[in-house]
A and B are shown apart, each in its own frame.
Chain A
Amino acid sequence: MIEEKFVIPKKLKLATYVLIAIGLVSFGWGFVTDPQRSWANYLLNNYLFVSLAVGAAFFISIQYIAQAGWSAAFKRIPEAMAAYLPFAAVFFLLLLFGVHSLYEWSHAEELAHDHLIQHKSPYLNVPFWGIRILLFFGLWILLTKWMRKISLKEDREGGMRYFYQSEHLSKVFIFIVAVSFSAFSVDMLMSLQVHWFSTIFAAKMFISAFLHGAAVITLIVIILHKYGYLQVLNRSHLHDFTRYMFMLSIVWGYFTFSQFMLIWYGNIPEETSYYVHRWHGPFQILFYVSIILNWFIPFLFLMPRSNSRSKLAMVPVIILLIIGQYVELYYEIWPATLHEAKFGLLEIGSWLGFAGLFSLIVITYLAKANLVPKNHPYLEESIHHHF
Chain B
Amino acid sequence: MYKTSIRGKLIEGDKSLAQISTDILAPIDAKTPKWWYVAMTVSLAMFGWGLYCKYITLSQGIGTWGVNNTVGWGWAIINFVWWIGIGHAGTAFSIFLLILRQKWRTAINRAAEAMTVVAVACAGLFPLLHMGRPWLFFFVFPYPNTRGPLWVNFNSPLFWDFVAISAYLLISASFWYFGMVPDFATIRDTTKSKIKKAVYGFFAFGWVGSSKEWLRFEALSFVLGGIAAVLVVSVHSIVSTDFAVSVEPGWHTTIFPPYFVVGAIFSGFAMVLTLVTLMRKLYKMNDFITDSHVDAVCRILIFISLIMGTAYLTEIFIAWYSGSEYEMFTFFHNRITGEYAFQFWAMFTCNALVPQLFWFKSVRSRLWVVFIISILINIGMWYERFNIVITSLTKNYLPASWAGYSPSIIEIGFFIGTLGMFSAGVLLFFRYIPMIAVSEVKSIAKFNEEIQPNEDH
Question: Which residue numbers of A lie inside 8 Å of B, CB to CB?
Answer: 65-67, 115-116, 119-120, 123, 160, 171, 174-175, 178-179, 182, 186, 197-203, 234-236, 243, 254-255, 258-259, 261-263, 265-266, 268, 270, 377-378, 380-381, 383-387
Contacts and interface: CB of A to CB of B under 8 A. Distances in A.
B233 A254 contact: yes
B314 interface: yes
A385 B2 CA distance: 10
Given A198-B318, A199-B255, A203-B314, 20 more contacts: A120-B321, A160-B6, A171-B359, A174-B306, A179-B310, A198-B254, A199-B256, A199-B315, A201-B254, A202-B314, A254-B233, A254-B257, A262-B245, A262-B254, A263-B254, A266-B244, A266-B247, A381-B2, A383-B1, A384-B1
A129 to B, nearest CB: 14
B233 A199 contact: no
Contacts of A202: 314
Contact of B457 (A115, A234, A261): A234
B352 to A, nearest CB: 12
A179 B313 contact: yes
Query: At the interface, is chain A mostly helix, strand, loop or mixed?
Result: helix
B237 A66 contact: no
Contacts of B318: 197-199
A182 B247 contact: no
A65 B255 CA distance: 25
B257 A258 contact: yes
Contacts of B321: 120, 123, 186, 197
Contact of B322 (A115, A234, A270): A270
A306 B322 CA distance: 47
Query: At the interface, is chain B mostly helix, strand, loop or mixed?
Result: helix
Nearest to A386: B454
Contacts of B6: 160, 377-378
Interface string B218-255: 00000000000000010001000100111100001111
Contacts of A262: 241, 244-245, 252-254, 256-257
Given A197-B322, A378-B6, A387-B101, A234 B456 contact: yes
B113 to A, nearest CB: 22
Contact of A235 (B359, B454, B457): B457
List the 5 closest A-B pairs by CB distance, nearest first.
A199-B255, A200-B254, A384-B1, A200-B255, A265-B245
Contact of A386 (B246, B252, B306, B455): B455
A272 to B, nearest CB: 12
Nearest to A265: B245
A255 to B, nearest CB: 7
B258 A200 contact: yes
B22 interface: no
Contacts of A171: 359
B99 A243 contact: yes
B241 A381 contact: no
26 contacts: A123-B321, A179-B310, A182-B310, A182-B314, A197-B321, A200-B253, A200-B255, A203-B311, A203-B314, A236-B457, A243-B99, A258-B256, A258-B258, A262-B244, A265-B245, A266-B246, A266-B252, A378-B6, A380-B1, A380-B3, A381-B2, A383-B1, A384-B1, A385-B1, A386-B454, A386-B455
Nearest to A243: B99
